[in-house]
Amino acid sequence: MIHKLVKEVGNIYVESHNLPLDKECNKYLKKQVHKGACRYAKYAVAAKNQGKYWDMSTLLFEHRPKNDDEAILLAQKIGLNIDKFKFDINSKETLKQITADIDYAVSQGVLGTPTIVVNGKRYAGIKPYYELKEIIENNER
């Protein structure tokens, strides 16, 4: 929906941060919410390193791979260098990026996903397209 908004409305800057609600990498959680979300974030960051963050994110939501082998098939589908992808999903740098994203989100008062911030105002939860478009149009400067 965000991509559709960018095309339709224009003049939108989109910035994405990972906020996996998974105790494996999110130190702020008291209970497990989305087991496996840290792994998905690693896949997304590894794809981002090759300029394919949005492509991978879309495929992750559509296919929900159960393991690295299934994620690698998705990576192949979008033309990633598989050796680099495998290295990056397990690297300390990838984990550092995810941890930095989580820390940033929490510092901004974002505690759940999805959360959209428009001109400093936070909108939490899933919204239908018409509502997202209305939020954008009502917040234009």
Instruction: Please give the biggest Cα pair distance in the chain.
Output: 46
Q: How confident is the model at residue 141 (pLDDT cuts 50, 70, 90)?
A: low
CA distances from 129 to 29, 63, 101, 110, 126 (A): 29, 21, 25, 21, 9
pLDDT at 9: 82
Could you tell me if residue 136 is inside a domain?
no
**Separation CA 17–CA 53 (nearest Å):** 11
Could you tell me if residue 140 is inside a domain?
no
Domain extent, residue 44, equals: 2-129
Phi, psi of 117 (to 5 degrees): -115, 125
Percentage above 70 pLDDT, the chain? 99
CA distances from 105 to 14, 55, 112, 117 (A): 15, 22, 9, 11
44-67: pLDDT as tens digits: 999 999 999 999 999 999 999 999
What beta strand segments (E) does 61-141 contain?
115-118, 121-124
**CATH code at position 40:** 3.40.30.10
Could you tell me if residue 137 is inside a domain?
no
User: Is the CB of residue 78 less than 8 Å from the CB of residue 46?
Assistant: no
Give me the residues paired with residue 117 across strands. Answer: 122
Helices then strands, each counted (H, E), the chain? 7, 2
Percentage above 90 pLDDT, the chain? 70
pLDDT at 44: 97
Could you tell me if residue 43 is inside a domain?
yes
**Separation CA 27–CA 21 (nearest Å):** 10
72-96: pLDDT as tens digits: 999 999 999 999 999 999 999 999 9
Phi, psi of 121 (to 5 degrees): -95, 135
**Residue 11 confidence (pLDDT) above 90:** no
Could you tell me if residue 28 is inside a domain?
yes
pTM over 0.95: no
Could you tell me if residue 141 is inside a domain?
no
For the chain, how many structural domains are there in total? 1
